[in-house]
Amino acid sequence: MTHDFTANEMMTIAAARALTNEDVCFVGIGAPSAACNVARLTHAPDITLIYESGTVGTKPDVLPLSIGDGELCDTALFTVSVPEMFRYWLQGGRITTGFLGGAQIDKFANLNTTVVGPYSHPKVRLPGGGGAPEIASNCGRIFITMALSKRGFVEKLSFITSMGHGEGGDGEGGHGEGGDHRARLGMKTSGPTRVVTDLCILEPDPQTRELTVTSIHKGVTREQIQENCGWPVKFAAQIVETPIPTDTELSVLRDINARTRKAHEAA
């Protein structure tokens, strides 16, 4: 087993491990796509990957630049229209897992991909939500992967694009009106259950729903995590060290990244 890997490789592989053969997974572009395809090429060959453009059971040889990448349709079992994908598959409760990223996230795993700063006069205008708000609401559970930084992990979002746990649940940090915020809004899905970063893994507290560090990557300190998080981060009573990538996991990730670079440079 090698010890020569980057923080980004650790993040992608740790995220991939969260998936299983039984998952029907709605895949976001970027880091989520890399993690989902590493899972497919290693321990979860029977996973069903679905992209927003309507491709079902896709098995790309290179990572897509966007949901409209022809590689997705070429390698899919079949492709349906976008309205069918959202109404029948997603809103119909047929997708077990959504895998998302974002520009910003808060301590209750709400995501912002819309604006930084006031909505009418933003400092930065981001790409927008796309299908992420519906994915966050309708998939059985949500995994999120993002590099940990104070710029991305913020105390208060300028705009909530995709609902995580809203204002939390009962107890410290919760809303105080009883129960989980998602349930009060009528959402029947679990929402974000894991946030994988380049330094650690966070999971929502069972009561408050506040993100709590449950696993720390090898060589990372608690101080590093706090220095890169925009709120006073909480640590679970029992924390494990994230297993380092195996040679197979690294080889698969590096191979697909190399194929992707070559294909995009050729284009």
Q: Are 75 and 59 in contact (CB under 8 A)?
A: yes
> 42-52 pLDDT, tens per residue?
999 999 999 99
Per the domain annotation, does 225 fall within a domain? yes
Q: What is the pLDDT of residue 263?
A: 87
Per the domain annotation, does 213 fall within a domain? yes
Q: Which two tokens stand for residue 6?
A: 């980057």
Name residue, tokens 């022809």.
70
Per the domain annotation, does 253 fall within a domain? yes
Per the domain annotation, does 1 fall within a domain? no
- Measured between alpha carbons, how far is 207 from 234 in angstroms, rounded to an integer? 14
Per the domain annotation, does 2 fall within a domain? no
* pLDDT mean over 215-242: 97
* pLDDT mean over 120-125: 93
Q: Please state the pTM of the whole predicted model.
A: 0.92
Q: What is the CATH number of the domain that holds 185?
A: 3.40.1080.10
Per the domain annotation, does 38 fall within a domain? yes
Name residue, tokens 């995580």.
164
Question: With bands split at pLDDT 50, 70 and 90, how would you rate the model's confidence at 267?
Answer: low
* More confident of the two residues 227 and 4: 227
Domain housing 133: 7-266
Q: Are 95 and 136 in contact (CB under 8 A)?
A: no
Q: Name the strand (E) or helix (H) holding 105.
A: strand 104-105
> 65-92 pLDDT, tens per residue?
888 888 899 999 999 999 999 999 999 9
- Measured between alpha carbons, how far is 47 from 41 in angstroms, rounded to an integer? 10
Q: Are 213 and 200 in contact (CB under 8 A)?
A: yes
Helix (H, G, I), strand (E, B) or coil at 100: strand
Per the domain annotation, does 34 fall within a domain? yes
Residue 167 annotated in active site: no
Per the domain annotation, does 25 fall within a domain? yes
Provide the domain count of the chain. Answer: 1
Considering 9, 22, 52, 167, which one is annotated as catalytic?
Answer: 52
* pLDDT mean over 194-219: 97
